[in-house]
Structures are given as C-alpha cells and as structure tokens.
C-alpha cells in the first residue's frame, strides 16, 4: 500500500513568479504573498531524504505549468531538468512519485488569454503535457491531471475569491464543464503511454435528516459525483477533509455567518470509499486528507482514525491503492496565507530548517506497518 504525503507546487516551492497567483499577490488583489514559501524547489532533495527516513513510500506533488511554460510557446529546459531530477530522486529513495499536472495556478500569459474559460486554450495545456512526455519527465505509474475541479470552479467563478475573481453561477458551470472536458483530452493523451490516470475530487460527506434527503442528493451530485460521471479515469482520487451539516451549509450560502457548518468525521471516510467503489468499480486512492491544527495530539488522532477508516474499507474488499496525508509541510494556504497549519513538518524561513512534528512520527509508524 502506498503511504505518504501530498503538496502542491505554488504552496511549497516558493517564488512562482510566472503565475497568475504570484501576479495578484504582488498587486494586492490577493491578500497574502507566497514569497519563498517552504522553499521546496530548492530543498527538494533534503525533503525527499526526510520522507525516506520517515518510511513513506509515496509522494504526491504538482508540476508547475507556469514554470514549464513561463511564456507562450516556450518550454523552460531548466524547469524540465528540475522536475526530472525530482522524479529521479524520489525513485532513488524508493518513493513512488504521484504527479499532479495542474493545481490551481496558471501561467500569467495563459490567464490573459482567458484560461480554461476559452476552450481554444486547451491546445496550450496539451502542448505542456506533450513537453513533459517528450522530455521524459513523467517517470511514474500514477498521474493526476487536475486538482479539485469543483472547488476551483466554485472559488474562482462562484465565490470569486480565486483568480479570475468572478461571481457567476453560469460561468461556474461553464468552467467546471470545461475543466472536466480538458481532463478527458489529457486522459486520452496520457493513456497512449499506459499510465494509470485520474484527477482528485474533494468529496464532502453531507449529513442531514431524512426530510432533507433530496437536497443532500443534489449537493452530493454537484460537489461529489458530477466530475466522475463526466470523465474517464482509472482510479478514484479522493480528497476528504470534512463532514458537512447540509442544513447549515445551505443556510450559510443564503445568510453568510461565521457559524461552523462542518465537523471531523473519520467514520464517514470509510462510507465514502465504499460508495465510490460501488458506483464506479475502480480502485481508490486517498489523495488528500488532513486537518488545520496546532494541537499535535489532535492531528495524530486525526491521522490514526482516518487511516483506520481506510483499512476497514480495504478489509471489506475495496482495492485501496494508497493514503496520502495533506500536507508534508506547513505551506502557503491560498487565501489564508501562512495562517493555517496542515503540515506534519514545520519549517523556519530564516534557517531553512525542517521541524519534524509528533504527527509525522504517527504517520511514520503507520507507513512502516502497512506499506
């Protein structure tokens, strides 16, 4: 079984200067600046040695579209060589690379052309994927195309908190459909190379009483099932963080408030895994699962209980490929900047020193036992 952690490039690498997020961070349209972040672009070899030391055998990370294609029709050879060495270093340390091809950020030039709203731009993304293939970057068994299409569409085109900061249900639906179509195009390109391919979908467990069951079904379709029903994939990539009270969720959209609408529900991860397998008859990979906390005892408990849910589903016959905890290291958490703590490692900006938290040892023990 694959057991390890997950990150995304903009959140940990630092200095992603050709991206739309970096641009809007500098102009002040986005409140927080990512800056040097956790400096993994520079310190990846040290981080991979730490993963090996902790006993992890898998690492999910993203390749940065904006680094590979910093300008239109230009492939940056230095970035290509960097990522090739990331794959080589992981392989040398017996760690399975699980790359994600796109995790929220766009090259600024691509953004100016309309991003994924303009389907004609898909050709540029395919060129990016082709470059990774032709240069031999993707030395992996499993490839994830896109991270959380529904979350991206809702943040960027419904809530308007991610670039391009639009608030339109019509555009939300358009961009979601476009991104899912793009995944299918990329799937067909990659499948010729015999990869096992999927995308990650953030799945909420919606909880409510029987009277609101039809509403729960609608929410479940929009957030959880539509992406899988509209796409081709070889395994189900599940990001799971929370169980949501459906009544409070709807009320919060109509009457915004600061009341908590979600809670941690490890037992519901088992139900989600079993349901997705029953629906699609594909193996399952937990591509993200984590919690924002400063309480390491709580994070360790969170990891143990959620992994136990994974094992219970596996013992019932679900083919579970792996469990990847979010996150390897504290990182830049989008609209929250550095005010969130998801990492099993911390880091010191000044000394570049990694700090191993007690929760890392909890996941390490699990990895040594089950991988």
pLDDT digits (tens, 9 = 90+) for 186-225: 999 999 999 999 999 999 998 766 556 788 888 899 899 9
pLDDT computed for residue 75 by the predictor? 97
Mean pLDDT, the chain, integer: 94
Q: What percent of the chain has pLDDT over 90?
A: 87
Q: Looking at the DSSP assignment, which residues form a beta bridge with residue 262?
A: 244
Q: How far apart are CA 206 and CA 202, in angstroms?
A: 12
Alpha carbon distances (Å) from 50 to 129, 301, 333, 345 = 29, 22, 22, 10
What are the DSSP E strand ranges found in the chain?
A: 2-6, 58-62, 96-102, 142-147, 196-202, 205-207, 236-239, 243-245, 262-263, 284-288, 320-326, 345-347, 354-356
Mean pLDDT of 306-313: 98
Q: How far apart are CA 301 and CA 130, in angstroms?
A: 42
> Does 16 have pLDDT greater than 80?
yes
Tens of pLDDT, residue by residue over 136-154, are 999 999 999 999 999 999 9
3-class DSSP state of 147: strand
Who wins on pLDDT, 156 or 209? 156
- The range of the structural domain enclosing residue 55 comes to 2-370
pLDDT computed for residue 260 by the predictor? 66
Q: What percent of the chain has pLDDT over 70?
A: 95
pLDDT computed for residue 258 by the predictor? 60
Q: How far apart are CA 21 and CA 255, in angstroms?
A: 29
Are residues 21 and 285 in contact, defined by beta-carbon separation less than 8 angstroms?
Answer: no
pLDDT computed for residue 243 by the predictor? 87
Give how many domains the chain has, as a whole number. 1
Q: What is the CATH number of the domain that holds 251?
A: 3.20.20.80
Tens of pLDDT, residue by residue over 104-120, are 999 999 999 999 999 99
Q: Which residues contact 226 (CB under 8 A, 6 or more apart)?
A: 150, 176, 180
Q: How far apart are CA 295 and CA 299, in angstroms?
A: 6
pLDDT computed for residue 32 by the predictor? 96
């Amino acid at each position: 079984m694959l057991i390890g952690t997950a990150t995304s490039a903009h959140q940990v690498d630092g200095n992603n200067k050709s991206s739309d997020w970096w641009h809007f961070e500098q102009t002040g349209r986005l409140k927080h600046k990512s800056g040097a972040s956790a400096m993994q672009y520079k310190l990846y070899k040290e981080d991979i040695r730490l993963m090996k030391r902790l006993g992890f055998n898998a690492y999910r990370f993203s390749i940065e579209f904006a680094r590979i294609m910093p300008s239109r029709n230009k492939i940056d050879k230095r970035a290509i060589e960097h990522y090739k060495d990331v794959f080589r270093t992981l392989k040398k340390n017996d760690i399975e690379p699980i790359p994600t091809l796109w995790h929220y950020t766009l090259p600024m030039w691509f953004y100016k052309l309309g991003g994924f709203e303009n389907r004609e731009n898909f050709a540029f993304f395919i060129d990016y994927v082709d470059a990774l293939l032709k240069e031999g970057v993707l030395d992996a068994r499993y490839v994830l195309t896109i991270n959380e299409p529904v979350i991206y569409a809702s943040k960027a085109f419904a809530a308007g908190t991610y670039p391009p900061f639009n608030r339109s249900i019509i555009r939300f639906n358009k961009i979601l459909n476009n991104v899912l179509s793009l995944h299918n195009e990329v799937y067909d390109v990659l499948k010729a190379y015999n990869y096992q391919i999927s995308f990650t979908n953030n799945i909420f467990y919606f909880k409510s009483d029987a009277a609101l069951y039809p509403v729960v079904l609608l929410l479940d379709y929009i957030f959880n099932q539509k992406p899988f029903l509209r796409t081709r994939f070889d395994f189900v990539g599940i990001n799971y963080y929370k169980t949501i009270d459906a009544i409070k969720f709807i009320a919060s959209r109509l009457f915004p408030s600061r009341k908590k609408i979600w809670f941690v529900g490890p037992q519901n991860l088992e139900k989600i895994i079993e349901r997705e397998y029953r629906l699609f008859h594909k193996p399952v990979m937990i591509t993200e699962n984590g919690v924002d906390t400063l309480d390491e005892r709580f994070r360790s408990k969170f990891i143990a209980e959620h992994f136990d849910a994974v094992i219970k589903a596996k013992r019932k016959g679900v083919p579970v490929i792996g469990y990847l905890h979010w996150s390897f290291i504290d990182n830049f958490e989008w609209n929250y900047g550095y005010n969130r703590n998801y990492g099993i490692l911390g880091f010191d900006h000044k000394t570049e020193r990694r700090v191993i938290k007690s929760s890392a040892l909890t996941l390490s023990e699990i990895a040594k036992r089950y991988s």
